[in-house]
A and B are shown apart, each in its own frame.
Chain A
Amino acid sequence: MSNESSSELVVKPAPFITSPITKNRLMQYTFFAILAVTVVSIALWSEVTTPSGWNLGLTVAVGALIAVGIAVVVDLLIGKVTSDSEVNIWSAGVFGLIVINCFSLGFPSMAVGLETGVPVEAPLAFFYIALISLIGIVVFKKVMSVAGRKLVNPAAAAKFLVLLPTLPTTLITSFHLKTGLLQVPALSGGISATSIVNGNGGATFGSYLQACYGLPTAQSPASIESVMFLAKYHGWVGGASSIAVIVAGIVLFAIGRKYFKWKITASYLISIAALSLIFSFLFVDGDLTTRLFFELFIGSSIFMAFFMATDPATTPFSGVGQIIFGIGLAILTILIQTFMGFFGGSLLALLIMNLTVPLIDRIRIGKPFGR
């Protein structure tokens, strides 16, 4: 037996066992977490019909199918025609869901009757969703991956690029303020739930929140806490219910705790809360909660904190880097929203912070074992 010759074996390097966590599995977990958020948004928003006659829940559902469908089909097509592009259907699906969830839909009750040209309802919204998904998957996911690595969050970058021409009307509320369209109070002064403190616009910040995010058909406005925490009917699809985002996010992080960059979420939210309170003192707000609730729980803040700021490809490697990233993101977001009047400024803040990642990755705190 000793001299029995055997066939050559396939040799590979150690280790010969691996953790059950794979890239695909992480993407599947993420997909289902965001899908749960999307389903909650569809359910909540099915109560609303926009001036064009489209049911808002249906709009979200169709928009989700369009965003995910385009992303997956393009991913498969690129995979077919190129040899060096990696097909990852789950990753494309996650991207598609993020596209729909970071898209602003809904018609605030205070804007009903106004023709703003803003793509916040079907069928115009579908065109924008499709365009964002297409540009995002092709330019910011595939081309950048082939070129080396993704520099910026694909969904955020694509949305910003597509909506850039309509920036004043879609994103920057100071424009509305100046034109008197929506009567939005600015954050760069004292605000309050019940009184006009800073004199901007004709509404208190509290009534703005209720009118902008509350159920348009409600007989009486819901409390600010209820609107910001439980159910919003305008803004980012993914922000319809802050509690849904928080629960889905925490479950996701608990399942894949060591793989998801929860430190970014934690440091971002803590920093946002701290900065909100500081600004409340600086601007002598009428109360401490209105600014805090706005900054923490608008869709662009809470959804981004859990599902966009934690995109592994465009964020720092190390735990310390992730904390720096989260803090930087919070500072930029607060500054943009406060002084540019760009509500939803986290999108721009995220893109800027994404570009700082190569620098943050150079920071090293602590030394290797024994040094």
Chain B
Amino acid sequence: MANLVEIKEHKDVARKTPIEVFPDPKVAVVLVNQQSGANNKSLVSVGDSVIIGQKIADSTERVSAPVHSPICGKVIKIADVYNSCYEYATEAIYIENDGKKTKDKTLTPISEAALKDTSKEELLKRIREAGIIGMGGAGFPTSIKLSIPADKKVTTIIVNGAEGEPYDTADERLMIEKTANIVRGVRVLRKILDNPKVIVATKETKVEALSKLQEAFGKEPETQVIAKHLTYQQGDASVLQKAILGYETPPGKRSYEMGTIVQNISTLNAIANAVFEGEPLISRVTTLNGDVEKPRNLLVKIGTPIVDILSQNNIDTKDIANVVVGGVMMGTALQTVDSPVTKRTSSVLYFAKSKAKKGQKQTACIRCGRCLSACPVRIQPIAIYNAVTKGDFAKAEKLWAKDCIVCGTCSFVCPARLPLASTIKMARQ
């Protein structure tokens, strides 16, 4: 791991900016599918009234997670809109806000004292019914991730506080402001996983968060808080696991098979909200950053159109070069700002045309080999790229294209500006 590439964080202002509650949207655009796994079906029709936290889409398949209404109001339309989770348009439920605050109470909270008497099956059911998925970007249903086969034993939980994506500070602010809730989330995990030891891992640059974590986790059993020099790539669960525990999980194997579960901060916060507050996943903290006057961390309802966030921050929509959601290294450039915030939207990054620098255009590979030495999973990006561009997908597979974690580092370092990461991503699919 000696050759991991350092990428500038761009977090100086955002990491010091407290979380603000963003106003509820006048019309929420809730995507029916935001998770990895089976597709949901809409449970409502146009004209139906819904309340806050009401389940509005679900699937009977095991690997799935339901979706809930973030606001009170009426379903006015069901139509396709660009879905940043999948990078194409999918079905969304449009809900007109009636301004009421009526909440669905299907998901009942339990007290912290009652946690020890609650079965792991009950906790997993609550996590599933709350619609919780991996909020770091992967979107895998958390209840499935935590459903460990009886013959397997998880010995370590790694709390992933690395938040490697440049510009993103949502997790960092949660670590500072919602530390107690994250501790509660970890307690739920320990209960589900039969009390493994806990390593809370963060970056040494997150000074305030580290102090809060050390204070909050100080009295937790078998828990250690670690601050390391971590590069962007070490925000990936498998690469972080290597950095913390020293071993590598073979591709295709789930991390629990190696005795470890890596859990993201936002997801832990959502787990605590679901179990102890009875609140399904209808909002999340997202960082507004990029070419904005003032970077912000916003607690925003899932389904809020991105255009609402941009307009409220006086961003001229005519001057938009790109709006990127989910991180500048691994995220997605929106086709339209009418696209909504999803459970995976860790950040909304606005880049202005007026501030765009004239970069080098794509040129032929100069064979510098930098992508090879920079790859955190030691594959050969340029060789795979060459195979894919020649249509030789069999060769790309032989070159371990499927092992790619799509971190984007190869494209970042490429002096010829070749779209290596996106091409390999295509080969993986």
Q: Which of A53-61, A278-286, A344-352, A361-369 touches B?
A: A361-369
Give chain B nearest CB distance to A20 CB in angstroms: 10
Chain A positions 309-327 with a Cβ under 8 Å from a chain B Cβ: 312-319, 322
Contact of A23 among B382, B408, B416 (CB under 8 A): B416
On whether A14 and B329 interact (CB within 8 A), knowing A23-B366, A26-B366, A368-B251, the answer reads: yes
Interface-facing stretch out of B260-268, B292-300, B314-322: B314-322
Contact between chains at B421 and A261 (CB < 8 Å): no
> CB within 8 A of B370: which of A8, A10, A258, A368?
A258
Query: A21 an interface residue at 8 Å Cβ cutoff?
Result: yes
Assembly CA distance A10 to B366 (angstroms): 27
* Contact, CB under 8 Å: A23 / B329: no
Q: Is A226 an interface residue (CB 8 A)?
A: no
What residues of chain A lie closer than 8 Å to B250, measured between beta carbons?
370-371
- For A313, the closest partner residue in chain B by CB is B367
User: Is the C-beta of B377 less than 8 angstroms from some C-beta in chain A?
Assistant: yes
The verdict on A15 contacting chain B, using a C-beta distance below 8 Å, is yes
B415 touching A25, Cβ below 8 Å: yes
Option from A1, A9, A18 in Cβ contact (under 8 Å) with B308:
A1
Main secondary structure of the interface of B (DSSP, over half): loop
Say if the beta carbon of A223 comes within 8 Å of chain B: no
Across-interface contacts of A370 in B (CB, < 8 A): 238, 248-251, 253, 377, 403
Q: Mark B408-429, 1 if CB is under 8 A from A, else 0.
A: 1001111111010110010000
The chain A residue with its CB closest to the CB of B236 is A369
Query: A194 — which chain B residues lie within 8 A by C-beta?
Result: none
Chain A proximity mask over B234-254: 1 for CB below 8 Å, otherwise 0: 000011001000001111010
**A258: chain B residues within 8 A (beta carbon):** 3, 370, 373-374, 413
Residues of B346-372 contacting chain A, CB below 8 A: 349, 351, 359-360, 363-364, 366-370, 372
Give B235 Cβ to nearest chain A Cβ, in Å: 13
CB atoms of A22 and B415 under 8 A apart: yes
Determine whether B66 belongs to the interface, using a CB cutoff of 8 Å to chain A.
no
Partner of B412, one of A12, A15, A149: A15
Interface of A is mostly: loop
**B331 contacts A by Cβ under 8 Å:** yes
Report the contact-size class of chain A (Cβ under 8 Å from the partner): 35 or more
Complex partner residue of A6 from B26, B312, B336, CB under 8 angstroms: B336
Q: State how many angstroms separate the Cβ of A31 from the closest Cβ of chain B.
A: 14
Q: Inside 8 A of B335's CB, which chain A residues have their CB?
A: 8-9, 11
The 8 Å CB contact of B333, one of A16, A149, A313, is A16
Complex: how many Å from CA A1 to CA B306?
10
User: Which chain A residue shows the least CB distance to B26?
Assistant: A2
**B312, B331, B412: which contacts A18 (Cβ < 8 A)?**
B412
The answer to the question of B324 belonging to the interface, with a C-beta cut-off of 8 Å to chain A, is: yes
With the chains together, A11 CA to B351 CA distance in Å?
A: 12
Docked Cα-Cα span, A8 to B318, in Å, equals 10
Q: A366 and B378 in contact (CB under 8 A), knowing A6-B336, A86-B363?
A: yes
**Candidates B320, B369, B378, B406; contact of A9 at CB < 8 Å:** B320
Complex Cα gap A12–B356 (Å)? 14
B198, CB-defined interface residue at 8 Å: no
Q: A219 in the interface, Cβ–Cβ < 8 Å?
A: no
28 contacts between A and B (CB under 8 A): A2-B305, A6-B338, A7-B318, A9-B335, A10-B322, A10-B333, A14-B408, A15-B329, A15-B412, A17-B7, A17-B329, A18-B417, A22-B360, A23-B360, A23-B363, A86-B364, A258-B3, A258-B413, A316-B369, A317-B369, A317-B380, A318-B380, A364-B380, A368-B377, A369-B378, A370-B250, A370-B251, A370-B403
List 18 additional contacts besides A6-B338, A258-B413, A261-B369; criterion CB under 8 Å.
A2-B25, A2-B28, A6-B317, A6-B337, A9-B333, A13-B411, A14-B329, A15-B330, A15-B412, A19-B413, A22-B360, A23-B416, A26-B368, A145-B364, A259-B370, A319-B372, A319-B373, A364-B380
Q: Mark A residues whose CB is within 8 Å of B.
A: 1-19, 21-26, 86, 88, 145, 149, 258-261, 312-319, 322, 361, 364, 366-371
Show the binding face of B for A, using Cβ within 8 Å: 3, 5, 7, 25-29, 166, 238-239, 242, 248-251, 253, 305, 307-308, 311-312, 317-318, 320-324, 327-338, 349, 351, 359-360, 363-364, 366-370, 372-374, 376-380, 382-383, 400, 403, 406, 408, 411-417, 419, 421-422, 425
| A-B pairs, 3 with minimum CB distance | A13-B422, A369-B377, A15-B408
